[in-house]
Amino acid sequence: MFDKLEDILIRFQEIEDEMMNPSVVNDQNRYKKIRKEHSDLAAIVEKYKEYKATQNTIEESLAMLEEESDEEMRELAKEELNNCKQLIPKIEEEIKVLLLPKDPNDDKNVIVEIRGGAGGDEAALFAAQLYRMYVMYAEGNRWKIDMMNLNENGIGGFKEVIFMINGKGAYSKLKYESGVHRVQRVPVTESGGRIHTSTATVAIMPEAEEVDIEIDMGDCKFDVFRSSGNGGQCVNTTDSAVRLTHIPSGIVISCQDEKSQLKNKDKALRVLRSKLYELELEKAQSAEAEARKSQVGTGDRSEKIRTYNFPQGRVTDHRIKLTVHQLDAVMNGDLQEIIDSLTAADQAAKLSNLQEVS
């Protein structure tokens, strides 16, 4: 591990030298590439420097204990030595986490697809609440929301909503949200006061760029139709909505949020590209079954991942057996505790898996 860290330290210095080179600065593509590499290595280098400084302090404290006769100075040296010895294992674990292979999609924007599941109108109302929850979380991170398609049920619920979250690191934060979300509560339509269980499915897809997935337009069929639901005069009175059918995969996408048919077509293609990219990721994950087992789950839409229990005011994530009694805060976008816990569990599982392999 330490040979690798030394190599990273050398490479980091080379990058910093390159970033000062005028020829590199003037080449925007090259400069952007090495700046990203610099950003990726910075945290590792900083932690490794902290490790080396702590080791140096240990050596200096040991030397002081051998040479120093003053009892007060010896006590200070002992205290510093003990503190540093306790720090070393913690820093080593942090370095191991930083050295884990990085998900190449982590920095990407995400396309979020939420659908009402079992439970009829109540499921659609829950889907709308999940949409609001993710929007509020995104706003808290100063990310931008771009609506792709919305299919409402007429009473404030969403049969389906597709939207994009634009923000650095959005996928790294939200990738564990894919799956079945379950709600337990008394629906507003329930006169007897009985608790019902309903579900909604969430899919989190990294935005695929054209270089990731190339679409043959000959495989695509476009139909145009008049938009329905809420919208401005132009949206509802012109054939601006687009239905895209990808013939080889059978994927069908409708986009009607924009007034322009061209813009809706572009959005539909972006969603298609991300869906096809997700299928490729799933194939790769299936080919690496053992690595897949080491993760907390990032893509199985049939997996029940979380329950929102309104009568008890709690949220339970079943993958890591985490329960938080702050339902109102979570529904208002305060997801960070859950996301941090999922990330930590995933990292711990990957570390354990690496140790078993080695």
Distance of CA 252 to the CA centre of its chain: 25
Q: How many CB atoms lie within 10 A of CB 172?
A: 18
Residue closest to 185 by CA, chosen among 173, 175, 200: 200
Cα separation, 145 vs 341, whole angstroms: 25
**Which domains are seen in the chain, by residue range?**
2-99 (1.20.58), 110-349 (3.30.70.1660)
d(CA 341, CA 270): 31
Check: CB of residue 201 under 8 Å from CB of residue 115. Answer: yes
**327 CB neighbour count, 10 Å cutoff:** 17
pLDDT of residue 229: 54
What count of residues does the chain have?
Answer: 358
pLDDT tens, position by position, 119-166: 888 999 999 999 999 999 999 999 999 998 898 888 889 999 999 999
pLDDT confidence of residue 287: 56
Parallel, antiparallel or unpaired: strands 251-255 and 304-309:
unpaired
The whole-model pTM stands at 0.73
pLDDT per residue of the chain (358 residues) written in tens, 0 to 9? 788 899 999 999 999 999 999 988 888 888 888 988 898 899 899 999 999 999 999 999 999 998 888 888 899 999 999 999 999 999 998 898 888 888 888 989 999 999 999 888 899 999 999 999 999 999 999 999 999 889 888 888 999 999 999 998 899 999 999 999 999 999 876 767 788 999 999 999 998 877 678 888 999 999 988 766 554 444 444 678 889 999 999 999 988 877 788 888 989 998 999 989 888 887 776 655 444 444 455 444 567 899 999 999 999 999 999 999 999 999 999 999 999 999 999 988 888 776 665 5
Closest Cα to residue 177, out of 82, 284, 319, 39?
Answer: 319
